[in-house]
Amino acid sequence: MAKIAIITVAAAVSVGLHLVNDLYAPEPEVLYHTAHASAPEFDWHSLEPSTEIKWTSCYNDQKCARLLLPLDYLSEDLSGPTTAIALRMIPARDRTNYRGTVLINPGGPGGSGTDLLARAGKNISTIVGDSFDVLGFDPRGVGASIPTLNCFSSKGQRDIWLTQEGHQFLNTSDEALLGLYRARQRVVGDRCAESDGGEEGIARFMSTASVATDMLKITEKLGQEKLHYWGFSYGTILGQYFTAMYPDKVGRVIIDGVYDAYNYRGALWNSNLLDNEAVINSLFTYCHEAGPLKCALYESSPGKIRERYYRVLDRVERDPIPVPHAEPPLLITRKALVNQIFRAAYKPINTYGTVVDTIRAIETANQTALTALAPKIVDPTECACRTELPQIVENDAFSAIACGDGEERTYDPEAYKAYYADLTSDAPNAGPFWAVHFLQCTEWSVRPKWRYTGPLAAANTSHPILILQPKFDPVCPLRDALAVRERYGGAGLLVQNSYGHCSMSAPSVCTAKHVRAYMEDGRLPEEGTVCEPDELPFVGQVSDARAMSGEDATLSEALRGLSEVVPMFGA
């Protein structure tokens, strides 16, 4: 197999969220096989779709099914086209005190819930409690659900396209470069419109309103009166939609790492990065706090560590670093290093060490170290010649969902320059990557058959929702979570005093206990509750694991596992 090393904004933003096991996400197909090296393969297409949930044993101790649901919920033709939704469940271990099924969504938009269950389901099950099933589903158009949206004829074709972008940041002061970025989004938008099949293509039926209704139907088919749900990242948008559309069907609904659905529905993407620089700067603070034995970039103050980091970036900008013996060969550019720290900010505990190792290897011209680090500096792409089971491959769902849900946007040069300036003022590192989202939607022409335009609010719900939010999230700021809380009557808020995306980015037994209390007993945290993390970047464990009770130790282990699979919203 030939391999191509790429670092592109299109690679970073066009596919939406993927859950990562290390610094960067391999293709979802690779993730799936890695996570299930010891589990038997499963052919989703061997499952006959049904209008009822017919469980089949799969992956040793789990259950799988494909549920037929209406493609068009606005159609009066009950025998019209359908979509087959892939379901994968870990059954509850405690059947005596059985409390129902919790649906999970990894975000994206376009993330695979069956894949999230593969890598995080057992840890989520430990946290919510043994009396719940945990069910991951692939939203319509995504993963093992069919039909899927594919704007390229193969994974290899998509990968080749992504290699063409180059090493320059998007910059509105460079008209030629801006033109290149716009043209690339136009190519993808045109291909998707042509390949999707027109009026009956899946892209017209992938809206969040449709997926929220799918969740209602799945819940009903399970025999439950109300939805139990834990949604991460974009999954918080889905949770806001569901709660607004079906407030009397809320059982236990958790939204974790919150993006304001009004900003999302406006296709603005300009509230996300408020705290991004604070998260990146935490690397320098924690490095200083940990000391020279734990952080190789240690200096006498966080400011000096920061200066040292950016000196390396300035040097690489003038003189990129070739790594000829990496497989595939690698060229380290400033864009590659900024993308590395941007993505590392999603889960600092697990990835800041890699950032430090990279900078130190560049400082010392250590080619052996850079060769070993190469897959964590630039996301390697493998050109596979065949598709293996379980046929969960990357698709092009992000724009269909995010741009379809949003207001129609047209490109205005002056307005976009002002937009870009505001975004990069908040987040000079992440802004050039994030600003592509707006361009994606200006060049996306497929409009959904059903787009929810009602209030994204609910004064009364059948049970209050629970909002989990890190104090400093790189792409979903606390400000958004606070705004969302005000719109949903009685909602509880738990702030985790941590850096990273979603609560799972920093293990906290305190947070896990509140989740368990909410799921099992419906109890919300007291007003003003703040949970501390049990571990910090570089510093390590700050709680005494040896003093933990058996239950706390079990929760801690599950949380540590979850911290490896933090959602990569919009990255």
CA distance 551 to 272: 36
Cα–Cα nearest to 534, from 566, 492, 497? 497
CA distance 231 to 52: 24
Q: Which of 7-21, 303-317, 505-519 is predicted least confidently?
A: 7-21
Average pLDDT, the chain: 90
CA 340 from chain centre, in angstroms, equals 16
CA 358 from chain centre, in angstroms, equals 24
Answer whether residue 32 shows pLDDT above 50.
Answer: no
- How distant, in Å, are the alpha carbons of 66, 121, 122, 162, 489 from that of 358? 44, 32, 33, 24, 47
pLDDT band of 166, cuts 50, 70, 90: confident
pLDDT band of 298, cuts 50, 70, 90: very high
Task: Please state the pTM of the whole predicted model.
Answer: 0.92
CA distance 291 to 305: 11
Answer whether residue 20 shows pLDDT above 80.
Answer: no
In CATH, the architecture of 57-148+202-270+456-565 is: 3-Layer(aba) Sandwich (3.40)
DSSP 440-465: HHHT--PPPS----S-S-BS--SS--
Answer whether residue 234 shows pLDDT above 80.
Answer: yes
State residue 387's pLDDT score. Answer: 52
More confident residue, 344 or 165: 344
Question: What is the DSSP code (8-state) at residue 331?
Answer: E
CA distance 5 to 165: 12
Question: What is the DSSP code (8-state) at residue 142?
Answer: S
Structure tokens at 109: 């938009």
pLDDT in tens, 352-381: 999 999 999 999 999 999 999 999 998 776
CA distance 501 to 149: 27
State residue 386's pLDDT score. Answer: 55
Question: What is the DSSP code (8-state) at residue 198?
Answer: G
Look up residue 463 and give its amino acid: H
Domain ranges of the chain: 57-148+202-270+456-565
CA distance 122 to 473: 25
pLDDT band of 467, cuts 50, 70, 90: very high
| Residues 215-223, mean pLDDT to the nearest whole number | 98
Q: Which of 40-44, 192-196, 271-275, 285-289 is predicted least confidently?
A: 40-44
pLDDT band of 389, cuts 50, 70, 90: very low
Q: What percent of the chain has pLDDT over 90?
A: 80
pLDDT band of 16, cuts 50, 70, 90: very low
